Amino acid sequence: MKFNDIIGQKPIISNLVRSVKEERVSHAQIFAGPEGTGKLSIAIAFAQYISCENRSDNDSCGVCPSCAKFEKLIHPDLHFVFPVFKKGKAGEVISSHFIDKWREMVAESPYFNLNRWLKKIDVENEQGLIYAAEANEIIKKLALKTYESDYKTMIIWLPEKMHHSTANKLLKMIEEPPDKTLFLLVSEEPELILPTIMSRCQFIRIPLINTKDLTTAISVKFDMPGPKAKDIANSANGNYLKAVSFIIEDESRSANLKRFIDLMRLSWLRNIPAISEWSEEIAATGREVQKRFLTFSLEQLRENYMLNIGMADKNLGFLSDKEAEFATNFNSVINKKNIAPLADQFSKAHIHISANGNAKIIFLDMAINVIKLIR
């Protein structure tokens, strides 16, 4: 992966290139930001640039033996750790057991989220974790000398999913790193990372992709006229994954919209029996599905409130056509009196679901509170 393959993020890339030229590459870095911004792409491209045998002033060459291996993610000095899932009574599970699937996923597109990754490994209804067994694997891999590059690079995708024992062992390695070792942590929720790890890493905030760069990428990728691509880029609000979901009518987003509409309509009608059934249905889905619904709902509440207070004319609305159609009448329900408590209900539910609480109770309690707040 070359820097040139990344959508936008030129200032970030420029700073990373400068750090290599000036030989001040921090041995532990966290690339943190929302999904769909290219964090994983940047980490891989940065590692490739460092290892490139014939790099230019701005990018890796893409053709040397090192780059050829990086393009296939098979370089012996490149290692990955990512969330996986233990099925049934399976023994210790580590990332390397899924490395072929991982390479396929990145080859398809390095812009993906946890939900899509878990679907790739057929465990979409579970949360995905970096298990304790991974710690010993990390230690074993990084204890070895480099094979071909100056650096061994360990890319940890979503370190917030690490088991606490893995995080503690990683802390020890970051404090006393093996020679010529580079840790690149790619995070969407850095506030969940062990604070002592955070304090020992260089923190790099990856911003949303600017509209111009996102428009160009959409137009080229989907052979789409500029004005239409720009409309989608505006709606996606700097998130390439959201842009793609708008284009291909992403099933999960459509399902979340239906769940959100059903909840709001049933709450407005104060239909407790139907609300109970709704809670059971969503409780039967997986934790990641539930969390994504709650995140989606928070987004919908925000956008409807912005419409209500007349901010949509200032280009602050980021709704798809179907979402906008529902919002036309619904936005009047979300006002300055209930937006904060409603958002608080969905945020608390997200926290409790992440903590493995009883989903049925959590969603039923949330829905009953929505009934109280919506009218």
Distance of CA 328 to the CA centre of its chain: 29
**250 has pLDDT over 80:** no
The pLDDT score that the predictor gives to residue 312 is 59
**Residue 330 tokens, joined:** 């619904």
129-154 burial string, b = 16+ CB within 10 Å, else e?
Answer: bbbbbbbebbeebbeeebeebebbbb
Scanning the structure block, which residue is given the tokens 């459509």? 254
* Whether 307 contacts 317, CB under 8 Å: yes
Average pLDDT, the chain: 90
* Whether 346 contacts 298, CB under 8 Å: yes
Report the C-alpha gap between 254 and 249 in whole angstroms.
7
pLDDT band, residue 314 (cuts 50/70/90): very low
pLDDT band, residue 259 (cuts 50/70/90): very high
Q: Which of 357, 210, 248 is nearest to 294 (CA)?
A: 357
Task: Specify the DSSP element, H or E, that contains 81.
Answer: strand 78-81
**89 has pLDDT over 80:** no
What are the backbone angles phi and psi of residue 178, rounded to the nearest 5°? -60, 155
Residue partners of 132: CB distance under 8 A and separation at least 6: 163, 165, 166
Report the C-alpha gap between 362 and 349 in whole angstroms.
6
Strands 152-157 and 202-205 turn out to be unpaired
Report the C-alpha gap between 17 and 56 in whole angstroms.
10
Determine the average pLDDT of the residues in 326-355.
94
The pLDDT score that the predictor gives to residue 316 is 44
**32 has pLDDT over 50:** yes
Question: Percentage of residues in the chain with pLDDT exceeding 90?
Answer: 66
203 beta partners: 30
Q: Where are the domains of the chain?
A: 3-205, 210-248, 251-374
Strands 152-157 and 78-81 turn out to be parallel
| CATH 1.10.150 applies to domain 251-374 | no
CA trace torsion 58, 63, 67, 70 (10° rounding): 120
**Which has more confidence, 127 or 158?**
158
Q: Which of 201, 208, 157, 194 is nearest to 33 (CA)?
A: 208
Largest CA distance in the chain: 67
**88 has pLDDT over 80:** no
**Residue 70 tokens, joined:** 């990086």
Q: Which of 224, 216, 225 is nearest to 8 (CA)?
A: 216
* Whether 27 contacts 154, CB under 8 Å: no
What are the backbone angles phi and psi of residue 184, rounded to the nearest 5°? -125, 110
Q: 120-150, pLDDT tens digit by residue?
A: 888 756 778 899 889 888 888 888 888 888 8
End-to-end CA distance of the chain: 52
pLDDT band, residue 232 (cuts 50/70/90): confident
The pLDDT score that the predictor gives to residue 142 is 85
Look up the CATH number of domain 3-205.
Answer: 3.40.50.300
